[in-house]
Structure 1
Amino acid sequence: MTVPAPQGWNTWDVRTHTGMTHLPSGLRVRFGLLDAAGTPVLDGFTWRHRLVRLGHHTVDGSFAEVTVEVDGIELRLTMAGGPRGELYVRAESAGTVVADVATGRDATPLPWPGPDPGEWRLDRSGDDFLIVPRDSAATVGGVGAVIEERRAAADAVRPRSGGWYRDAADALTRAVTWNTIQAPDLDRVLTPTSRDFVSVERQGFYGSWALHAWDTFFTGLVASVVDRDYARGILGQILPFADAAGMVPNRVSDERGTTWDRSQPPVGALTVFSAYLAGGLSDDNRDRRLLEETFPGLLAWHDWWPAHRRGPHGLLAWGSDPIEGDPESATLDRTKRESGLDDSPMYDEATYDPATHTMDLADAGLNALHVADAEALATIASILGDDTTARRLTAEAHQARTTAATLFWDDDARQYRNLRADGSHDPHVSPTLLYPLLGGFPSAETAQDIADALLAPEVLGGDRPLPSVARNDPGFAATYWRGRIWAPMAYLAVQGLRRYDLRAHSRHVSGALLELFLAEWETHSAVRENYPAFDGEDLTGFQQRSDGLMAWGGLLAHLAFGELAEARADGWRFAHPGAPAELRNLPLGDGRLTVTAGARLVVTLDGAVLLDAAPGVVVTGYRRTADAVSATVTGTGDVFVAPPGSNHGEPEAVTVDGGTRHVRFVREGSPA
């Protein structure tokens, strides 16, 4: 069963934020206001037009809140739907509230009041609306009580943030849950990156739905902060569209079909494994089903790359295969689109090689991502007990890393650079040149030097770090992929920094991007497709090409969360970020995790203290099972660590003074 289940009331209809649809009956209802001329306004509420604020939206539709406006008058809607048959709505406004109903997606709406549709009963009393099956005992007088009950239930479990993070967790959550829709032709529930982007009626580019490869995986990673089952459903939703060779297509949609000529960056295993790690304090309570359901498709996609995208010097390069009946396939434009960086200056001088079906430019970022993909898949294979595949992938990753680290290294620049067919290194610089750190290419000393150089303010650093091309690059234009700041690119670059524990850099970059994320959310109710590289740039206009409710923008919040609490392959890392901060109700298989940084760094699980540390202490490698707790403690200060099975007992104290302590506590009677 997918989550949310395709049943009951939810904001399934891609075309509106101000209504709900009941599946499978197809009954839908919308709300709006009379405008100054007395004309009902019931649609067109998008982030560009008249959408004021998104409120909390549970995954299952049991609670959703949104504010819109018409001619300066606001309408605040609170809707309590969910998997049952009743829909309760409170519509608060100083204007005249109107509504309509229809009995199917394409049926002509009927104004409300009007004839009750079929087996449903429609009631209204003042601001309150009730839509229920005719035999329901619910009354419109109970709308307010139900809404407040649902609000309290939603608040009790939803992820929350505070302090340094302000309401970043709310923004991240809403940018995912408000984008879950039904695809009528598939009879499936999907979560595209943005409902505006995929709906032509919302100034989008498709009929009513589309999925893109790396967009989907990043959306699923963001959703792992909200709900584990929900994230699993998203992370696996595009894999069934792969071709027989294992290629996950760049895009599949209702109106424009499938891009059989090209894929998108291989981030599937990275995001799936990251979501898996964040789902528990050890493998005992993590979502094994996520790995079991996605591993075959992710492995096939991984193996597709070297079989179909060997470019210059035997390295991987972006490509496009010739497809009969598709005259735009096998072109340079399509190879650029496989990169996901459609108009990046990195590819301005590249050409298409019909012999290899790739660019004549080997891409350092792609090769690094493929190595990191192999490493993640090898670990997943080990967890699933497939040691043969794990050994094969580990050996392939080692060989590919060794080769790529040598060929992409530019002695003159003292950094990695893309490699041309003639053997020269391309001079263009972008955050993808930090991806070799994600792939483990350099030594620790070299990684530090690379980060120092690339994150200089005139290159990729500064107060608005990681523009999609270096500020001193001749191709920099601060537009789209020619200089805007993109969360997916930033996420991958920062994960490279963290692999080498370059925390001064990762903390600065994450903090600066968090402020950018929050400024757009607080000003425009926007979680953006891309972010402005300059202060004062307004991205709300359609011509600016920055969708305003794109789930992957939540990666910028996700990155900053990692400075306080981060699930890693070797265990959790908890550290004080240097400012008061809090994350509450993170959904783990063990329970709800809360991490607070104030006068102390405190980690609790369902209210029970697991760690209580001085601000100067960093805890890494933290794992907790029913029988054992282990961690590494560095820095300066004391930390109290709760042993296994002692949620209400006395924690044990550990003190460090600039050194390292490895701690392990075993439940009495358990194997040591």
Structure 2
Amino acid sequence: MARSQHLLLVLFGFILSHQLAAQGSQSTPNVSSASGDSWAQLSADALHTGKPAWRPMLTYVAALHQKATHPAAWPFDYEWEDLGPGYVYGNAFGHWDVVHESIDVLPSYPTHALHQLLNDIKNQEPNGLVPGSIYMPGGLAKRDSVSWNKTTQGHPPLWPLAVQEYLSVTHDSTVLKTFYTPLIRQITWFENNRKAVGEGFFYNDILLKKWESGVDEGIRFDEVAKGALACVDATSHVYTLYQVAAQWAHLLGLDATYYELRAQQLRAFIQTSLYVPADGMFYDSWAVQDAKLRTLPFESMWPLVSGAATQAQADRYINSYLLNESVFLTPHPVATVGRKDPKFELRMWRGPAWNSMAYWAARGCLNYGRKDAAKLILEKALDDSAKQFKRTGTIWEFYHPLGGKPEQLQRKPTSKYNVPCRDYLGHNPLLAMARLYDAIK
């Protein structure tokens, strides 16, 4: 489809969304009358979720969500949840943390989840950029004003998956009239600002080291030369945007042809140009071309999470890497860097385990019918998280992949904050993980 036709689709989607809004209420989209729909319901559900040994931790997490929530304040229209009271850089909202937090409170408190997603798209820039982290006053950093990057740093666009979760729980399809246009605008932003040379998409980690991939100081960018080169995570994430856009377009009675075509093209690109059959591994484009640049970062799992991999590719990846104790299946999975990789170290995003990534890895396994792998990953991650909670009474930003003490890990050696944050919710969808575990037992 020609570019002009695509822009007409975007404009039509924008007009339609406003027409739909005019036909209905101007208030928050309706939320189905789910039982409770409250903090009390979240706490009550935590008492009956997962293994008994996990429940003290899960109850604590439920209470921590409420503690981390603030009244509506500019630039948000609704109550907003920060990354957790222990975040060393103060009160902050955004990046992919809000996605994990929203999914975590579903289905117990769908209204709160919806409000976070509405807050997330509220400050989308006119060009379609959805900001990364919005820093609010207060917190440990004692910031006195609101600030965020409005020009050069986005974030992994996973929020449409959280909207999909909300739809699954509430069956409230009226929210599509609110979220469709921001989705199309964000796709347009990626096409205009993060399109890789040839095919695929990139994050500006490779250009500016702004870490909009969400992986600060990731090993993939240690040696690579700067350039608009396709990143396996960014390409997989935008593939998901096209998929969701096509689904929503059908539901809204719009033409989904362009988004279906682009999804098909990206899927083929990921399966062939970001994959090395000899290794059974997905890589960034530069590592496919140069074997000396190949490493074992967890970002290689995103083709499975997005569903872009073939069944054969997924099975081989799961068996060779996700279930391999020398790679990602560490005592506390998923190691952010494969254990046997020379770059593995006990330092933030270069080895330690983040529970959010165990959650996405499990979802990736389930996309391909691998309940065995999903259950094992979730159980090991939750077992060790509960063990550390019993010992320390807190939820850690990230965990020791070898089952050691989180406080012995390094965060950022060049900063004054060189240990993982305590009471950190942004990457700890522990309730969602336990519910997923229950569903596949």
Deviation for aligned residue 1:186: 4.6
**Quick check: 169-178 or 363-372, which moved more?**
169-178
Rounded Cα–Cα distance in structure 2 between residues aligned with 1:156 and 1:275: 19
State the partner residue of 1:229: 111
CA deviations 1:188-245 (Å, max 9, x no partner) are 5311222332xxxxxx324xx4222311222111122330111100112121111111
| Count of aligned pairs between the two proteins | 389
Deviation for aligned residue 1:498: 0.8
Q: Kindly report which structure 2 residues correspond to 1:1-400, keeping only aligned pairs within 5 A, or say none.
A: 158-162=45-49, 164-165=51-52, 166-167=54-55, 168-182=57-71, 186=75, 189-197=79-87, 204-206=88-90, 209-254=91-136, 255=145, 257-259=147-149, 260-277=151-168, 279-280=169-170, 286-319=171-204, 332-334=208-210, 337-353=211-227, 358=228, 361-383=229-251, 385-388=252-255, 390-400=256-266
Q: Say if 1:171 and 1:554, in contact at 8 Å, map to a contact too.
A: no
Gaps of 5+ in 2: 1-26, 30-35, 137-144, 410-415
State the partner residue of 1:470: 338
State the partner residue of 1:637: none
SS in 1 for 2:428: helix
State the partner residue of 1:552: 426
Say which of 476, 482, 485 aligns to 2:353: 485
State the partner residue of 2:412: none
Rounded Cα–Cα distance in structure 1 between residues aligned with 2:41 and 2:430: 24
Q: Say if 1:485 and 1:530, in contact at 8 Å, map to a contact too.
A: yes
Q: 1:238 to 1:314 in 2, by over 3 A?
A: same
Letter in 2 for 1:492: W
- Tell me the C-alpha RMSD between the 2 structures: 2.9
TM-score, length of structure 1 as denominator length: 0.54
Rounded Cα–Cα distance in structure 1 between residues aligned with 2:328 and 2:366: 17
SS in 2 for 1:551: coil
Q: Say if 2:200 and 2:235, in contact at 8 Å, map to a contact too.
A: yes
Rounded Cα–Cα distance in structure 2 between residues aligned with 1:288 and 1:458: 44
Deviation for aligned residue 1:524: 2.5
Q: Say if 1:467 and 1:484, in contact at 8 Å, map to a contact too.
A: yes
Rounded Cα–Cα distance in structure 1 between residues aligned with 2:44 and 2:125: 39
CA deviations 1:392-413 (Å, max 9, x no partner) are 3222111111122111111331
Q: Say if 2:155 and 2:214, in contact at 8 Å, map to a contact too.
A: yes
Letter in 2 for 1:464: H
Rounded Cα–Cα distance in structure 2 between residues aligned with 1:227 and 1:60: 5
SS in 2 for 1:387: coil
CA deviations 1:431-462 (Å, max 9, x no partner) are 21111112333332231111111121111113
Q: 1:348 to 1:183 in 2, by over 3 A?
A: farther
TM-score, length of structure 2 as denominator length: 0.80
State the partner residue of 2:375: 507
Rounded Cα–Cα distance in structure 2 between residues aligned with 1:172 and 1:59: 17
Rounded Cα–Cα distance in structure 2 between residues aligned with 1:520 and 1:234: 29
Say which of 434, 439, 463 aligns to 2:306: 439
* Structure with greater strand share of residues: 1
Q: Say if 1:409 and 1:417, in contact at 8 Å, map to a contact too.
A: yes
CA deviations 1:146-192 (Å, max 9, x no partner) are xxxxxxx7699654325625315423322321100136555853112
Rounded Cα–Cα distance in structure 1 between residues aligned with 2:434 and 2:272: 33
* Structure with greater helix share of residues: 2
Say which of 261, 265, 276 aligns to 1:410: 276
Q: Say if 2:97 and 2:427, in contact at 8 Å, map to a contact too.
A: no
SS in 1 for 2:162: helix
Deviation for aligned residue 1:348: 0.8
Say which of 266, 286, 305 aligns to 1:420: 286
Rounded Cα–Cα distance in structure 1 between residues aligned with 2:295 and 2:237: 19
Q: Say if 1:269 and 1:377, in contact at 8 Å, map to a contact too.
A: no
Q: Say if 1:432 and 1:489, in contact at 8 Å, map to a contact too.
A: no
Gaps of 5+ in 1: 4-57, 62-152, 198-203, 281-285, 321-329, 566-574, 578-672
State the partner residue of 2:17: none
Q: 1:343 to 1:412 in 2, by over 3 A?
A: same
Greater C-alpha radius of gyration:
1
Deviation for aligned residue 1:391: 3.4
Q: 1:296 to 1:396 in 2, by over 3 A?
A: same
Letter in 2 for 1:190: W
Q: Say if 2:43 and 2:62, in contact at 8 Å, map to a contact too.
A: no
SS in 1 for 2:71: strand
Q: Kindly report which structure 2 residues correspond to 1:633-652, keeping only aligned pairs within 5 A, or say none.
A: none
CA deviations 1:314-335 (Å, max 9, x no partner) are 3211127xxxxxxxxx95322x
Q: 1:218 to 1:162 in 2, by over 3 A?
A: closer
